[in-house]
Amino acid sequence: MTAQTCPRQHQRTTMEIASLEPSLYTVKAVFILDNDGNRLLSKYYDKELYPSMKEQKNFEKNVFNKTHKADNEIAFVEGMTIVYKCSIDLFFYVAGSAQENELMLMAVLNCLFESLGQILRKNVERRCLLDNMDGVFLVVDEIIDGGVILESDPQQVIQKVNYRLDGSEQAYGFDLFDYIVGNIDGQTDRSQCA
Amino acid sequence: MIKKFDKKDEESGSGSNPFQHLEKSAVLQEARIFNETPINPRRCLHILTKIIYLLNQGEHFGTMEATEAFFAMTRLFQSNDQTLRRMCYLTIKEMANISEDVIIVTSSLTKDMTGKEDVYRGPAIRALCRITDTTMLQAIERYMKQAIVDKVPSVSSSALVSSLHMVKMSYDVVKRWVNEAQEAASSDNIMVQYHALGLLYHLRKNDRLAVSKMLNKFTKSGLKSPFAYCMLIRIASKLLEETEAGHDSPLFDFIESCLRNKHEMVVYEAASAIVHMPNCTARELAPAVSVLQLFCSSPKAALRYAAVRTLNKVAMKHPSAVTACNLDLENLITDSNRSIATLAITTLLKTGSESSVDRLMKQISSFVSEISDEFKVVVVQAISALCQKYPRKHSVMMNFLSNMLRDDGGFEYKRAIVDCIISIIEENPESKETGLAHLCEFIEDCEHTVLATKILHLLGKEGPRTPSPSKYIRFIFNRVVLESEAVRAAAVSALAKFGAQNDDLLPSVLVLMQRCMMDSDDEVRDRATFYMNVLQQKQKALNAAYIFNGLSVSVPGLEKSLHQYTLEPTEKPFDMKSVPLANTPITEQKTEFAPVATSKLPEKPGPTRQDIYQEQLAAIPEFQGLGSLFKTSEAVQLTEAETEYVVRCVKHTFARHMVFQFDCTNTLNDQLLQKVMVQMEPSEAYEVLHYVPAANLPYSQPGSCYSLVRLPEDDPTAVSCTFSCTLKYLVKDCDPNTGEPDDDGYDDEYVLEDLEVTVADHIQKVLKPNFAAAWDEVGDDFEKEETFALASVRTLDEAVGHISLFPVVYVEAVGHISLFPVVSVEAVGHISLFPVVSVEAVGHISLFPVVSVEAVGHISLFPVVSVEAVGHISLFPVVSVEAVGHISLFPVVYVEAVGHISLFPVVSVEAVGHISLFPVVSVEAVGHISLFPVVSVEAVGHISLFPVVSVEAVGHISLFPVVSVEAVGHISLFPVVSVEAVGHISLFPVVSVEAVGHISLFPVVSVEAVGHISLFPVVSVEAVGHISLFPVISVEAVGHISLLSL
């Protein structure tokens, strides 16, 4: 945790030096917002960065306002590098310090997105995410631990979480049935509402 | 369909968020079912999810309710539902800080972490470490060590990362796991490798040798994880920076080899590391730049962003290295990601040619409103840099900036624009009026007090000197009517400056002042009253002292003095003279901007070196009552560097005393020195009052002894003195290994080099923001005007040869030394160039530059100028051909400067002999000398003697060749061109041949002098002899010159 110096002050004063203190603490924050910019999940890993809930939500608002119009993948807000992705009515964000390797942040974002895609059977949208919130919490927990990238391979994450879509036994049954009778489309319908 | 949470929610259709109307109390109520038997995993899971969701939304849980829910949750460990158990771990982590007695779950977690279910083990370790403190950590240490080397990667990773989190809290315990971490580092799993490397580094980072060994091992063995590679690169570049190892080091080779890694992440990390290394040459940068160039055309926005951001950084220092990428950057300026486009354009602005500026500016203005403030600041900074590079483009830039100024934006953004406009005004006099007009318009509607006051100050400084100062009065007075107190007060100060400098405006200003005296704020009233009274006196000296030039004392010093004053109640009023003068020029640092830097926090002025010494000396009882420290000189070596005892001396000057601080180091490991002191024998009427010996001087530990010397009281002019110094001490032999000394020792002494006290030790540089005012303030009393009959001189060359006749106005000059530092910031530039700007100084300097046989004796007077200036002045030696022989006597050699001599390549063969005598060349000057070769053959001999050209002057030197051949000889004597003078040189060629001869003797032209140079050719031939003696030209000086030429 020694590397967790205050990012705002730190980066403003040392931006010129720009050599990053070698550290595993790569991720400053992760959050998922809906298409109104409301928080569905957020984790801040640097205690000195936005210590209060109000600051966090302001930051999220600010990020949302700057990113929701165009899917540009990367932005720089309030002195932090933000990589993001949107899917239907969801926005996924991973934030790191200004000097952080953008590709490492991208690796985290991709892992998060793909893991959730698998857990939610490709229905990465708000309703489905909220219905499986426990799985989402577990996925985030397996990818990042206290700001350290714990796992970046979605397959590994899925395996570790070992999460089954809610009501999945039943759903599997239907899937099998659908499969047998050739009604592949039904599968999507069902899992969407699962 | 399966309804997961609240039925009502879904049916009512109030949004599709099942958590929308969650009530904390209702959820906690529901949590009671945790206690039911048998456990219903599904329902419990839902409730835990709700609790975590609520916590995540920022819902506040009281300690009581949290503890209650936590304890109920512990029951759920009885269930074997995997997801439920995992959610329990999450709940534990979330509640670790809110609930009490969380350690109750320690045993459950320990059981899970050592159990058979691999799925539980990793998460259980992480949850356990979250609730563990140092004392409990010892209890689970055994398990942690096992877990680190566990063959299941998730267990090992979890243990390593948790250990890393705990390093801060329990370094000593975690340190003991280093062997296990080492073993884990050779794991096949890429994440385990990465985590182990991270932990190992954190444990060893203070041991450079260990880090170096670790790097060596891993760079050789090769790692699989790209993350681990990135980490290694960072460690390697940090080590390179710390050890200042050259770029031939194997570490650099390693980083470079990573440019060929198959992972983009690693390649980028390596390129970025190379770019950020200090002192990278263009050749070393090239491979990094070319991989970044490839990334520029990547389909991934993040990669393009990363590449262009890094290239932008390269462009700041090595624009030429980036030009190869210009084509790729051009493609990015239309990138849909505006951050990328902005970075691309600002990079191009740095690397592109002047012709592309207009196009790029047009491009950027098309979307400047779409980008965030951070990037707008980047744009402004790029413009600022551009204006320095292409001064001719300032009108385009100024327009652009004024448009930006009108747009919406935050404080940082506006401040960047204002700073940029100000710097353009400072660098391009012709842009002053437009710039000031834009700023005036801006303050009409400016919500930032800081910016408004800054602009008002600038208007006060620059406005009165513009052709029509009256037009600014309206803008300034509007502020008095409309703004907040701080701005009103600043406006009043600005008004006063107009009144003081423009006599025709004075009556109106006085009327306005009268109105300000009725202001509702007391600060505004006080200022108005004060200025009103000062202005009514109509005395230049008063204006200068109280309106133009503010405080010249150091602020920390003032604070200390005032504090001291309040501690010792006295009848006497506080004496401003007792406060040490500020000696750091307030130069605005031109910082390089990282593309993403928002802004720098204002740096707090730290205590100066002198303040530190003052504190140290005050702690020594013998030196109390000396008053405040006037000046501390740079250390002088009194021994060679490689002798048994190394002694250097720092001179501290007080009002009536001097303290010599001898920093001694004993380099003999078999000796202990005691009672070390330096005995001093003065050559003049100086009196050594007291010695403060250093009690012990063990091997290689520096110690200080002091001597207190009283300055001669009867003769205030006896400012210089030579002391012969002897180091006296008691030697005790000692064991080199233990340092244990023998009981008895013997006295011994060691002769040191002589120590000189010179005029420079009594002189301090001060800042005078308004030079002209400071000049006036000095008044006629201190003017020294003498006419010397040079009747025997026929030609100028002959006069130069005879300058040695010039009597040295030595005594008077010394008396005025305290007045000397009347030099404004701009003037500092001049001084260093020689032109000693105050009247008294003239006395000294004029002694000096004119070195000839007689003058040589006076050289020791010379360093009348602060240290930086010395560098320049010593360049000065305006030595006529005859004088050359004497230069070798020059004692004023500065060690730092010595190295530059070899850079003098342009020097003609004849000149070489002389130049080698001139060791004092300032670094900046070096580069320019090479520009000189344009000079005609005759001139070479002279010019090469005086290549003191300031950096900015570079471009202008090319104007020189216009000078006619005869003139060259003279001009070349003083190519001391100050920054501001740049514009003036171009005037030179206009000068008639005869006139050149005169001017060339002292082309020390200050800004104010601009208008007057044209006067020069008017100077009659007879005047020649005189003018050439007085190099001090400035507005007022013109007046003098005409006097002199009589």
B664: pLDDT strictly greater than 90? no
What residues in B contact A43, CB-CB < 8 Å?
Answer: 56
Residue A181 in contact with partner chain B when CB distance is under 8 A: no
3-class DSSP state for residue B649? strand
What residues in A contact B302, CB-CB < 8 Å?
Answer: 73-74, 83, 102-103, 105-106
DSSP bridge pairs for B658: B653, B709
B920: pLDDT strictly greater than 60? no
**Under 8 Å CB-to-CB from B952, ≥6 apart: which residues?**
B979, B982
Among A39, A60, A61, A103, pick the best mutation site for testing chain B contact (most B Cβ within 10 A).
A103
* Nearest chain B CA: its distance from A185 CA (Å): 16
B841: pLDDT strictly greater than 70? no
Of A101-115, B7-21, B476-490, the one with minimum mean pLDDT is B7-21
CA-derived radius of gyration, chain B: 37
Residue A193 in contact with partner chain B when CB distance is under 8 A: yes
Contact across the interface for A103 and B82, Cβ inside 8 Å? no
Among A74, A86, A92, A163, pick the best mutation site for testing chain B contact (most B Cβ within 10 A).
A74
- DSSP strand pairing (B657-666 vs B671-682): unpaired
**Under 8 Å CB-to-CB from B939, ≥6 apart: which residues?**
B965, B968, B969, B971, B972
- This complex has an ipTM of 0.82
B30: pLDDT strictly greater than 80? yes
Instruction: Say what the pLDDT of residue B694 is.
Output: 86
Nearest alpha carbon to residue B943 among B980, B910, B896: B910
Nearest chain B residue to A44 by CA distance is B56
Residue A167 in contact with partner chain B when CB distance is under 8 A: yes
What residues in B contact A83, CB-CB < 8 Å?
Answer: 302
Angle at B314 between CA B309 and CA B316, to 5 degrees: 100
Axis-axis angle for helices B226-243, B250-258 (nearest 10): 150
Contact across the interface for B167 and A1, Cβ inside 8 Å? yes
**pLDDT digit string (tens) for B786-830?**
665 555 556 555 555 544 322 222 222 222 222 222 222 222 222
Position with higher pLDDT, B804 vs B651 = B651
B102: pLDDT strictly greater than 90? no
Contact between residue B69 and residue B31 where contact means Cβ atoms under 8 Å apart: yes
Q: Which two structure tokens, joined as six digits, stand for B972?
A: 């070349």
Of B183-187, B671-675, B722-726, B733-737, the one with minimum mean pLDDT is B733-737
B886: pLDDT strictly greater than 60? no
Nearest neighbour of A77 by CB, restricted to B338, B372, B592: B372
Confidence of residue B912 (pLDDT cuts 50, 70, 90): very low
Nearest chain B residue to A164 by CA distance is B83
Nearest alpha carbon to residue A95 among A83, A107, A79: A83
B393: pLDDT strictly greater than 90? no
3 state SS for B740-753: CECCCCEEEEEECC
Contact across the interface for A15 and B234, Cβ inside 8 Å? no
Instruction: Say what the pLDDT of residue A152 is.
Output: 92
Nearest alpha carbon to residue B496 among B454, B466, B524, B467: B524
Q: Which amino acid is at B589?
A: Q
B868: pLDDT strictly greater than 90? no
Position with higher pLDDT, B127 vs B870 = B127
Most confident of B452-461, B542-551, B907-916: B452-461
B191: pLDDT strictly greater than 50? yes
Nearest alpha carbon to residue A43 among A95, A111, A103: A95
Q: Which amino acid is at A53?
A: M
Residue B203 in contact with partner chain A when CB distance is under 8 A: no
B625: pLDDT strictly greater than 80? no
Position with higher pLDDT, B249 vs B294 = B294
Residue A186 in contact with partner chain B when CB distance is under 8 A: no
Helix %, strand %, coil % for chain A, to 5?
Answer: 45, 20, 35
Mean confidence (pLDDT) of chain B:
69
Instruction: Say what the pLDDT of residue B871 is.
Output: 26
- Identify the H or E element spanning B676: strand B671-682
List all residues of chain B from 77 to 96 with a beta carbon under 8 Å from chain A.
Answer: 82-83, 86-87, 90, 93
Give the mean model confidence (pLDDT) for residues B747-759: 85
**Under 8 Å CB-to-CB from B635, ≥6 apart: which residues?**
B648, B649, B650, B663
Give the mean model confidence (pLDDT) for residues B896-908: 24
Nearest neighbour of B165 by CB, restricted to A12, A81, A146: A146
Contact across the interface for A106 and B302, Cβ inside 8 Å? yes
Angle at A104 between CA A98 and CA A105, to 5 degrees: 60
What residues in B contact A167, CB-CB < 8 Å?
Answer: 2, 4
Q: Cα–Cα distance between B455 and B493 in angstroms, integer? A: 12
Residue B59 in contact with partner chain A when CB distance is under 8 A: no
* Nearest chain A CA: its distance from B1012 CA (Å): 44
Give the mean model confidence (pLDDT) for residues B1009-1032: 30
* Nearest chain A CA: its distance from B199 CA (Å): 8
Alpha helices in B445-503 (DSSP H): 449-462, 470-482, 485-501
Instruction: Say what the pLDDT of residue A137 is.
Output: 94
**Under 8 Å CB-to-CB from B623, ≥6 apart: which residues?**
B617, B659, B692, B706, B708
3-class DSSP state for residue B757? strand
Nearest alpha carbon to residue B561 among B581, B542, B541: B581
Residue B618 in contact with partner chain A when CB distance is under 8 A: no
Contact between residue B557 and residue B577 where contact means Cβ atoms under 8 Å apart: no
Nearest neighbour of B18 by CB, restricted to A23, A102, A130: A130
Residue A163 in contact with partner chain B when CB distance is under 8 A: yes
* Nearest chain B CA: its distance from A169 CA (Å): 12
| pTM, full prediction | 0.58
* Nearest chain B CA: its distance from A101 CA (Å): 7
Contact across the interface for B167 and A107, Cβ inside 8 Å? no
Nearest alpha carbon to residue B291 among B317, B331, B260, B248: B260
Give the mean model confidence (pLDDT) for residues B639-662: 85
Q: Which amino acid is at B147?
A: A
Position with higher pLDDT, B205 vs B900 = B205
Q: Cα–Cα distance between B429 and B1013 in angstroms, integer? A: 17
Residue B968 in contact with partner chain A when CB distance is under 8 A: no
Going across the sheet that includes A74-77, the strands are A39-44, A29-34, A90-97, A80-87, A74-77
The pLDDT averaged over each successive group of 10 residues in chain A (194 residues) is 37 40 91 92 90 91 87 86 91 93 94 92 88 92 94 91 60 42 42 39
Contact across the interface for A16 and B167, Cβ inside 8 Å? no
Residue B227 in contact with partner chain A when CB distance is under 8 A: yes
Alpha helices in B735-866 (DSSP H): 771-778, 796-802, 810-815, 825-832, 839-847, 853-856
* Nearest chain B CA: its distance from A163 CA (Å): 7
DSSP bridge pairs for A97: A80
Contact between residue B190 and residue B225 where contact means Cβ atoms under 8 Å apart: yes
What sign has the CA pseudo-torsion B419, B424, B429, B434?
Answer: negative
Most confident of B125-129, B431-435, B470-474, B708-712: B125-129
Position with higher pLDDT, B618 vs B996 = B618
Q: Cα–Cα distance between B502 and B510 in angstroms, integer? A: 12
DSSP bridge pairs for B707: B660, B691
What residues in A contact B301, CB-CB < 8 Å?
Answer: 72-74
Instruction: Say what the pLDDT of residue B569 is.
Output: 72
CA distances from B293 to B306, B323, B379 (A): 11, 11, 21
B1005: pLDDT strictly greater than 60? no
Instruction: Say what the pLDDT of residue A112 is.
Output: 95
B273: buried, middle or exposed (CB in 10 Å: 19+, 13-18, 0-12)? buried
B197: pLDDT strictly greater than 90? yes
What residues in A contact B5, CB-CB < 8 Å?
Answer: 131
Q: Cα–Cα distance between B854 and B883 in angstroms, integer? A: 10
Instruction: Say what the pLDDT of residue A114 is.
Output: 94
Instruction: Say what the pLDDT of residue B162 is.
Output: 94
Instruction: Say what the pLDDT of residue B794 is.
Output: 62
Percent of chain B at pLDDT above 70?
67
Confidence of residue B446 (pLDDT cuts 50, 70, 90): confident
Nearest chain B residue to A2 by CA distance is B168
Alpha helices in chain A (DSSP H): 7-14, 53-67, 102-119, 126-131, 133-143, 154-161, 168-181, 184-193
Number of Cβ atoms within 10 Å of the Cβ of B145: 17
Nearest alpha carbon to residue B805 among B853, B864, B863: B853
Q: What is the DSSP letter of B633?
A: P
What residues in A contact B158, CB-CB < 8 Å?
Answer: 145, 150
Q: Cα–Cα distance between B810 and B786 in angstroms, integer? A: 13
Q: Which two structure tokens, joined as six digits, stand for B841?
A: 């100084």
Q: Which two structure tokens, joined as six digits, stand for A170?
A: 């039943």
Torsions phi, psi for B600 (to 5 deg)? -90, 145
Among A73, A84, A99, A119, pick the best mutation site for testing chain B contact (most B Cβ within 10 A).
A73
Chain center to CA of B894: 24
Instruction: Say what the pLDDT of residue B769 is.
Output: 59
Torsions phi, psi for B373 (to 5 deg)? -55, -40
Q: Cα–Cα distance between B321 and B315 in angstroms, integer? A: 7
Nearest chain B residue to A20 by CA distance is B234
Residue A66 in contact with partner chain B when CB distance is under 8 A: yes
Contact between residue B680 and residue B724 where contact means Cβ atoms under 8 Å apart: yes
Q: Which amino acid is at A12?
A: R
What residues in A contact B303, CB-CB < 8 Å?
Answer: 102-103
Confidence of residue B186 (pLDDT cuts 50, 70, 90): confident
Q: Which amino acid is at B335?
A: D
